Each structure stands twice: as C-alpha cells, then as structure tokens.
Chains A and B, each alone.
Chain A
Amino acid sequence: DVKVTQSSRYLVKRTGEKVFLECVQDMDHENMFWYRQDPGLGLRLIYFSYDVKMKEKGDIPEGYSVSREKKERFSLILESASTNQTSMYLCASSLDRGRQETQYFGPGTRLLVL
C-alpha cells in the first residue's frame, strides 16, 4: 500500500522563524514534490526532486528551499517564515522519471505563521 507521511499535521510558527517540513515515502519512488494549497488557487508546485540531491524549482519557489539527502525523504525549508506562507503544504511522490506516473499525496501540513 502506498504511503506518504508528513511530520506534522498542524504547525504554528512566528514570523522570522526557520521552519522544516518533512516528508517520507516508503514506496522507493524517484520523484518527490512539494505543493501548497490555497483557497481559489488550487495546488501550486513549490519544488520537486527526481533523485537524491537533485532539485528543480516549481512555479512558486521564492522563500523556500528543499533538501533530499535520502531517496525516501524530501524536506521543505522556510528560511524565514512570513505570514503569506500560511497555507496547507502537501507532499507527493511518483515512481519514475519520463513516465506518466500517478502522484501519491501525504495528508498535508497546515502551517500558520503569526
């Protein structure tokens, strides 16, 4: 059974704090993704990675960075959290490069930045 887990379901942080969101998949997937979901804007891709230590910018990478040191783990980092980064953050993974693979999503982390 496909499993993508995210370290926290809810998180409250203060402006300026460094925030780490962790995502782990147990399916040996090559690709991993970070999205944010906001009302009226749908899911927007922040960063993705198709291999260990590789990363690609998505549509809205500003204010974020990522780390993929191990195949199963993909971290999203907010270097200095701001109130406009209050959102639902969703991690996803898919099997293989170059093929149309379904993305499997974690349950999401709802982040509130005060």
Chain B
Amino acid sequence: DQQVKQNSPSLSVQEGRISILNCDYTNSMFDYFLWYKKYPAEGPTFLISISSIKDKNEDGRFTVFLNKSAKHLSLHIVPSQPGDSAVYFCAASLSNFGNEKLTFGTGTRLTIIP
C-alpha cells in the first residue's frame, strides 16, 4: 500500500527551464511534507519542506506547493541547472508526538539537458 506516490519515474528538462516534480498521497492525516534529493552513491539530502498549514514554501530556486484537497504536492525548480540532475524523493509524516517516521515516495529521476 503505497501511501506516497511519485507517478513519474523520470523527467528530462532543458537547462534554464522549469522542472516540476509531482507527488500524491493518500493518507489525509499527513501534515508535514519534505523533498529530498539523492545523487548516486550518496545518501539523500534534505531540500525543502512544507507544513500543511501552508500552501507554498519557497527557498531560492526551489518552491514546494501543497494542495491539501487534492492530496498533491509539487516541487518547482527554476531555472533548472545541470547540478539538479538527481533522484528526488517526496516524503510525508504526521506531526503528533511519536510519529517521527517519514513515508517516502518511489522517487523521480530528473535529468537536466545542457
């Protein structure tokens, strides 16, 4: 039962254009969402997060949008750079005490074409 889904296993985007990565979730109790980026042979690194009380969070070139009614979040990268080529995982969690664990999606491999 995949509670967090990333339906696009891969995505190719021209350098300088916008990259949009999508994530859907089924558990309406999730109220905190994160994006991680992973290079080959390295562990995932935290990119950006959003609480369910917000619908947008921005950090430099990265913006995460949350649509609670659709149970959907997206990560926008603009402008895309070659160093953004990586696998991106979205993750979700519950904020109540004792639920520190994250549920991850299956990942989307982003390739930025120079």
Contacts and interface: CB of A to CB of B under 8 A. Distances in A.
Nearest to A42: B106
Interface string A49-64: 0100000101100000
* Size class of the A contact interface (CB-based, 8 Å): 20 to 34
Contacts of B22: none
B114 interface: no
A104 B45 CA distance: 7
A90 to B, nearest CB: 6
B100 A94 contact: yes
A76 interface: no
Interface in A76-114: 90, 92, 94, 97-98, 100-108
A61 to B, nearest CB: 12
Contacts of A4: 43
Contacts of B49: 100, 102
B104 interface: yes
* Size class of the B contact interface (CB-based, 8 Å): 20 to 34
B100 A42 contact: no
A44 interface: yes
A42 B91 CA distance: 10
B41 interface: yes
Interface string A27-56: 000010101000011111100101000001
A100 B93 contact: yes
Interface of B: 4, 6, 9, 32, 34, 36, 41-46, 49, 51, 89, 91, 93, 95, 97-98, 100-107
Interface of A: 4, 9, 31, 33, 35, 40-45, 48, 50, 56, 58-59, 90, 92, 94, 97-98, 100-108
Given A107-B42, A108-B43, 20 more contacts: A9-B41, A33-B101, A41-B106, A44-B104, A45-B101, A45-B103, A59-B103, A97-B97, A98-B97, A98-B98, A100-B32, A100-B49, A101-B100, A102-B34, A102-B46, A102-B49, A103-B102, A104-B46, A105-B43, A108-B41
